[in-house]
Amino acid sequence: MRPAAVPDALVVDISAMRRRDETHTSLEHELSPAWMRDALRDTDAEADAPAHVRLDLVVQGDGSVIVTGELRGGFHVPCARCLDPAAVNADGKVTAMFVRDGAAHRLPDEDRRDDRDGDDPEGDDDDDGGEDLWPFDGVRLDLAPLLAETLKLAYPMRALCARGAECRGLCSQCGAPLNEQPADAPRCTACGVPSPRVPEVDFIPSAEPPRTDALAEALRQAEALKKLREPE
Ligand SMILES: [Zn+2]
Ligand SMILES: [Zn+2]
């Protein structure tokens, strides 16, 4: 399923720049909702508005290219409690270094593109290895994978709909949306289970945890749900 082809605007002809003796170029581009949906196709995210990117490219003497700039936009994911759309802000800086194929193996392992399980993607982008490294053929530089990755990194562990902490979620017994029921109803009006209310366990982690914590988070939720269903 590839509905959105790589927009040519995201491919920079580095060899042509070299022929013209250019070392800098910048570009602005609007990522269409269809393109964003394609980038996020492995997730349950929905994009209905374009994102805007502004990037500066600097070609280094050794042929590598430093890309800096920013992405502004967002998408929706299902609310962690009620499954209604929850807005996700994907605004952030883009920092990457494209190295010619074959050059990447000379770089120390810890500088390679494996920092997603520890580093804050928006964290400091100074010289301590925070730059993402991407291979390219030295001729055509395709920015699409970098921007797709930037969007994916904005995908949150959990997000809440516009109701925020007030979201009452779904009945733990029958799945009925409790936001549509009177807040003071002593029973779920759909199934009659007593005292349907927002789980007291806060499902939203205070800081964005690394993705490797997904299993721990799932176990924690399973534990919380079990507690919720146990009769007092
Ligand atoms: Zn909600
Ligand atoms: Zn119910």
DSSP string, 53-94: EEEEEEE-TTS-EEEEEEEE-EEEEE-TTT-SEEEEE--EEE
Quick one: pLDDT at residue 110?
Answer: 45
Higher pLDDT, 8 or 143: 143
Q: Is the pLDDT of residue 90 over 90?
A: yes
Both structure tokens of 121: 């993607």
Terminal CA-CA length for the chain: 48
Relative to the alpha carbon of 172, which ligand is closest?
2
Q: Ligand 2: distance of its center to the CA of 226 in Å? A: 16
Tokens matching residue 227: 């507690």
Q: Which ligand is nearest to the CA of 168?
A: 1
Q: In the structure, what pLDDT confidence band is assigned to residue 217 with cuts at 50, 70 and 90?
A: low
pLDDT at residue 225 greater than cutoff 80: no
Instruction: Tell me what pLDDT residue 232 has.
Output: 44
Asked if residue 210 has pLDDT above 50, the reply is no
Task: Write b or e for each residue in 147-171: b if 16 or more Cβ atoms lie within 10 A of its Cβ, otherwise e.
Answer: bbbbbbbbbbbbbbbeeeeebbbbb
pLDDT for the residue numbered 104: 52
Q: What are phi and psi of 227, to 5 degrees?
A: -60, -40
CA 181 – ligand 2 centroid, Å: 10
Percent of the chain whose pLDDT exceeds 90: 62
Point out the ligand nearest to the CA of residue 86. 1
How many Å apart are CA 76 and CA 99, to the nearest integer?
A: 33
Expressed in angstroms and rounded, the spacing between residue 184 Cα and the centre of ligand 2 is: 14
Q: In this structure, what token pair is assigned to residue 62?
A: 């050794």
> pLDDT-based confidence at 101, cuts 50/70/90?
confident
Ligand 2 centroid to residue 187 C-alpha, Å? 8
Q: Where are the domains of the chain?
A: 8-153, 165-229
Beta bridge partners of 87: 76
54-65: per-residue pLDDT in tens?
A: 999 999 999 999
In the chain, the amino acid numbered 156 is: P
What is the 165 CA–ligand 1 centroid distance (Å)? 8
Mean per-residue pLDDT, 164-192: 91
CA distance 189 to 201: 23
The answer, yes or no, to whether residue 120 has pLDDT greater than 50, is no
- 176 CA to middle of ligand 2, Å? 5
